[in-house]
Structure 1
């Protein structure tokens, strides 16, 4: 009993499971049908999207090709515009040139005509604007522009903006420009005349430049000559100043000698004159003529001065290098002679000093007793010193006068 009930229960469970399986199979079939429908719809949509994409790609290619064509046309138009602008600039320059070459009276007449034409055009434009404003105010119920009219492309709007300029330019060029030259031969004649004038001006300028260069060259040469003359004059002035200094020194020396001679008494003057006459005779014999003559002292002095002037002239004609060499030789001889004289004087003084020392040492010493004798008045010092005229030889005086080695204050 229990087994049968168990079997029945299991059969019922199996039936339930079979029923559930059938229900699941039916639901799976429904889902499969829906999925197939979904796949078909997706495939249909993909086909439609592919066709739409192909259509859009074709349209974009067409638009791109159209854009390229339009850009090429725009570039060609721009190049044409640039070329036309260059041609226009050339034509304007030609027009200006022809206008400048025309006579001034005709130019003034053309300017006055242009000004009157501009005034008339301005009046006409003002009247047109006034009439347009009046007509616009009189029209009732003006409609607003449509959206398509407002949404214009930038290029179209630029063209609309630039239309007045084009209109003004076209209005400027509507009238045919007037030219003074009706025949090309007139222009050729004028150009030949202008070229001849230019050539004459160039020739004149070259001639003026040549004369200017010649004047500059002559100015340079005269300047150099003036500089050379100034240098020579300055050298001569310096030489004259040196000679004046030497002459002044000689004059001062002679003045001192004259004062010395004046201060001496007549006896000393006679002695001095005798000594001078002897010295003049000696100088005349050694320098001018060694023969015995009956000339007095003044004539001998005149001969000596004449000989001295001749020697000075010959010295001036001697070249400077040779003169400098002779001066150096004479200076060296004078220095050696002075050195020998100094040494001889020093030796003589030394001998005199030694002689006095020996005499003093050999003499008996005397003792002085009593007061020292004092004079009743101080002895008057001798203001004028008598110099020995024969102390300086005549050759040394001539050497000092010629070469100026004596320092005179």
Structure 2
């Protein structure tokens, strides 16, 4: 009994152990399944998080793109609105009234500037005709109203006269009806008012707004005008370029002329300076010669020709000789001329003769010079012989005078001669003054011959 109980107890315990083992295995399986599901949940959650992050980044990028697109579209809308405003302004400028109000700077003003004047004259004539027609219609309406009133007054007056002159009952009734009708007509005529004077300016503005007053009906007309204006502008541009080129040439010539004139002025200034120096030197030399020519305190001034004071020709003799040569050169004698002026004239004549000789044949000139030189030598020889003859005659005359003179006898003790001094070598120093004196003596001697 106890064994069976124990066995039963063992079986129960085994059953309970088996059940617990099964429960434990089930629990482990459930735990494993829960772990797998939890891992799957975590993995799915991570994937969802990553997907959410990617979706958030994509949404942020899309938002930024949309914001940039919105900004771009807003800028484009602003630009389009600005362009639309400009187009509207241009369209307003192209209008007739707006264009005229805008002035010559608008497109309509440009069209008016290229429109022929005859078109505006026609428009002005048509406008004047419309004004005259409206004014005539208004005046006709006013005249019709006044005429209707006059007719009503006249009809009423006639009806009243007929009523007062009626003789029978029927005539009186007819006249009374006529008076009533005339009174009603007069009342209607008086009720009708004259039309107000029309506002011609407003009507003209309305006509200008409603009518087409533009001269250009076809775009080809405007293209033809543009072509003509382009040709005119090209012609004017060419003329302007040619004028500019001519101006540049004139400026270049002017600059060259100014440079040439400046160089010539500088050269002339240099020549003037040199000539002034020469003139000053000539004046100084003339002053020195004048001082040397007037040696001695009294008598006629004589030129010192290197042969001693008082032995050269006087200035009067030299002046008479210069005057003689001046007359032989073909000049008319003039007492008012000085010796220097006559010498200057002769020098000018000599330069003219030399200038005339230059183009002549050299051989012929040499032959003439040789013949002239022979003549000059012949004259010089004759003059020398005459001078020698005169000197010889003078010496002979002096010898005869000495022979005819009484003999002079010396009385008393003859003077003792001085002792001879040692001879010294004298070195002659030639100065500039001696050279000038020799040059002047040679020149005067040549002129005197």
* Higher RCO (CA < 8 A, seq sep 6+): 1
Which of these two proteins has the greater Rg computed from alpha carbons? 2
Q: Does the TM-score normalized on the shorter chain lie above 0.5?
A: no
Q: TM-score range by the shorter chain?
A: 0.3 to 0.5
Relative to the length of structure 2, the TM-score reads: 0.35
**TM-score of the aligned structures, taking structure 1 as reference length:** 0.38
